[in-house]
Chain A
């Protein structure tokens, strides 16, 4: 009899546990379930939905980790201003605060708010709220490579980088200090002296050869036609030669400008690739282990 009672009790306790568990599962919109679902979305890289679910959770609960993950989700989908706002809202007492601070700078950086980033850095440094480590200062210095502001001195700039990064950052710094731009004035003058030479100056060799040949051939045709007293054809080819000549000067000036834009674009791109590879000098927290 005792044994039967014991077995019934065991079975009943299992039933009760299952019932309680299922009662919790029933309300799909209870805060714990919303959080569970949001975590699932976050780990399946569905960041927009995850952010919205986390925000739904945060409307009734306070949780620094959830705020942090919401900001990460917004950052992942490119809503950097919202991410920055959320990172900034992480409490100073939270264990996530140092990471949130770095992520905040990263979000400002990605939002291309370099001035905001620098101002914030300077304010934090002056207020002595917490000590900025050399790692924290990397983004601060890196932001100068994206703007046209006066660069800090090379020693000061590079003192925050070491190891394999050092040489790479030094190259970036040198590029920024003296960008290898081509002068559009020089390109124009060169093309005025010899058609196509301006194009050679901006490394467009085939265009340069073609411009030279076209101007020379049309000029020669015009000359021979005038010489043979075919005045009409002489004027037609002369006009075409003049057009090619003027167009080539204009084209060389434009090509120099395009060249400069291109190398500037490539420079910014390589900076971004480098920063992405380094995750903006921030250690990534894996929430989905």
Chain B
């Protein structure tokens, strides 16, 4: 009887200490979450690493990697975030956790601008029968990946597949409509110097370019007409062709600049004024 009492006391001590250990890990996780919530990402990662080190029974492994990945992401360390989310995926215990980790990897890839990889992962998810119920979410992130890949028309199509995404669909359609065609700008500058600049709204630069080309064209042709072949060749190479080529390049650069302004405006809106889910 005496031995039984001792035995039970020891069992209670053991269980209590086990509970304390559990409690310490739980507290540590809450501490790390607090640090993350207060935007102390570096410290949050340190505390999560500590928890990971002492969590010998791997009770929190998925949650640790997930939060650590988010901390890296918030700190702008997208490659580290992707590696950590991959660890989370490897330690996932449920299908939902695998899906969660994959989506986080996709979101980090979008922010890292490795949109090709994000789209590849989205295709894998879409083709996986386990995730057929997640079609809307997959299309949503595909839309974001396409916007970051500067494929606004395709992004609009992806958002159109989701009923509740009219706002993003309209935005993507508008950006696509507003953007200038770099190819067209380049092409018309070949035929009429300055036309590409005028197409992108840079009228002064367009007319100036036209003026220079007319002037040096006239001087060059005049030289050839007067049989001053060497003069003509030098004027053609050093002056006329220089301005002609410069005009083509300039037209394309203007289109690029204008497009950058349009897309940056849209991305700025998404960053600061859009209240839905973001990568």
Contact = CB atoms under 8 A, between A and B. Distances in A.
B37 interface: no
A19 B6 CA distance: 15
A209 interface: no
Interface in A8-66: 8, 11-12, 15-16, 18-19, 22-23, 25-28, 33, 36-37, 40-41, 46, 49, 52-53
Interface stretch (B20-28, B87-95, B107-115, B175-183): B20-28
Contacts of B3: 4-5, 8
Contact of B7 (A8, A25, A225): A8
B21 A12 contact: no
Nearest to B47: A28
Contacts of A19: 10, 13-14, 17
Most buried by A among B7, B21, B28, B234: B21
Interface residues of A, number: 29
A25 B54 CA distance: 8
A23 B20 contact: yes
Nearest to A40: B53
A37 B53 contact: yes
A221 interface: yes
Contacts of B17: 18-19, 22-23, 26
A288 B218 CA distance: 78
B234 A221 contact: yes
Given A12-B6, A46-B49, A221-B231, A22 B20 contact: yes
A22 B15 CA distance: 10
Contacts of A11: 7
Interface in A211-254: 217, 221, 224-225, 233
Interface in B4-52: 6-7, 10-11, 13-14, 17-18, 20-21, 23-24, 28, 45-46, 49-51
Contacts of A40: 53
B230 interface: yes
Contact of B28 (A18, A23, A28, A41): A28
A66 to B, nearest CB: 17
A12 B49 contact: no
Given A15-B13, A49-B46, A22 B21 contact: yes
Contacts of A16: 10, 13
Contact of A221 (B20, B24, B46, B230): B230
Contacts of B28: 28
Nearest to A53: B46
A233 B220 CA distance: 13
Interface string B73-117: 000000000000000000000000000000000000000000000
17 contacts: A15-B10, A15-B14, A19-B17, A26-B20, A26-B21, A28-B24, A28-B28, A28-B50, A28-B51, A37-B49, A37-B50, A41-B49, A46-B49, A49-B45, A49-B46, A217-B234, A225-B231
Interface of B: 3, 6-7, 10-11, 13-14, 17-18, 20-21, 23-24, 28, 45-46, 49-51, 53-54, 56, 230-231, 234
